[in-house]
Amino acid sequence: MSRIGRVPIPVPSGVEVEVEESRVAVRGPKGRLERSIPSRISVRSDGAARTLVVERPDDQRESRALHGLTRTLVANMVAGVTDGFSKDLEIVGVGYRAVAKGPSQLELALGFSHPVVVDAPDGISFEVPSPTRITVRGIDKEAVGQVAADIRKLRKPEPYKGKGVRYAGEVVARKAGKAGK
């Protein structure tokens, strides 16, 4: 049995969960998320204990793989509508900076001949606490991580001087430049 899949998901007060055959919808104080789940995995609501239980029909390899995955995805939905998720990015480099153009647009100066404008998809917002820090916020963990990865992809940290956009706390492997005699 999957050690992750068999753990029940606690549902906090103020969160409503609707379970259909192959869809799970979660509504909470921060918003609403909906996701389809694999047909062979079932999600059952235990109303008395306010928990969700994810079950699999058999011990086939694919069922075992989907069991823990589905449980984690549903748990992330519950956590997203209650607390939300955020990802912090750092900008390193002379002249590299970020400016917020409202909560859903970001203008980045990353050493190109033009500023790069990034628009946030639905459910995602940007914060710029300082010109070299960006915070991506939202209720969908997958979307927050994807938007942060797309911003990082604009100018990945390079190994010689470490310039570029990186995740907060990311360690960039540095290389020695040309060695003088």
> For residue range 42-84, what is the model confidence (pLDDT) as tens digits?
998 887 889 999 999 998 999 998 999 999 999 999 999 999 9
* Closest by CA position to 24, among listed 40, 45, 55, 8: 45
| CATH architecture assignment, domain 85-167 | Alpha-Beta Complex (3.90)
Distance of CA 130 to the CA centre of its chain: 22
The tokens describing 10, both together, are 């606690």
pLDDT digits (tens, 9 = 90+) for 100-159: 998 899 999 999 999 999 999 999 999 999 999 999 999 999 999 999 999 999 999 999
Q: Tell me the domain boundaries of the chain.
A: 9-82, 85-167
132 CB-contact burial (10 Å; exposed 0-12 / middle 13-18 / buried 19+): middle
Distance between CA atoms of residues 45 and 48, nearest Å? 9
DSSP H stretches of helix in 95-174: 141-154
What local confidence, expressed as pLDDT, does residue 179 receive? 77
> Angle at Cα 29 formed by Cα 5 and Cα 47, nearest 5°?
45
Does 85-167 match 9-82 at the fold level? yes
pLDDT digits (tens, 9 = 90+) for 158-178: 999 999 999 999 999 999 888
Of how many residues is the chain composed? 181
* Closest by CA position to 4, among listed 51, 90, 70, 52: 70
What local confidence, expressed as pLDDT, does residue 178 receive? 84
Query: Which class is domain 9-82?
Result: alpha beta
What local confidence, expressed as pLDDT, does residue 21 receive? 84
pLDDT band for position 2 (50/70/90)? low
Query: Is-contact 107 128, C-beta < 8 A?
Result: no
pTM above 0.85? yes
Q: Is 120 helix (H, G, I), strand (E, B) or coil?
A: coil
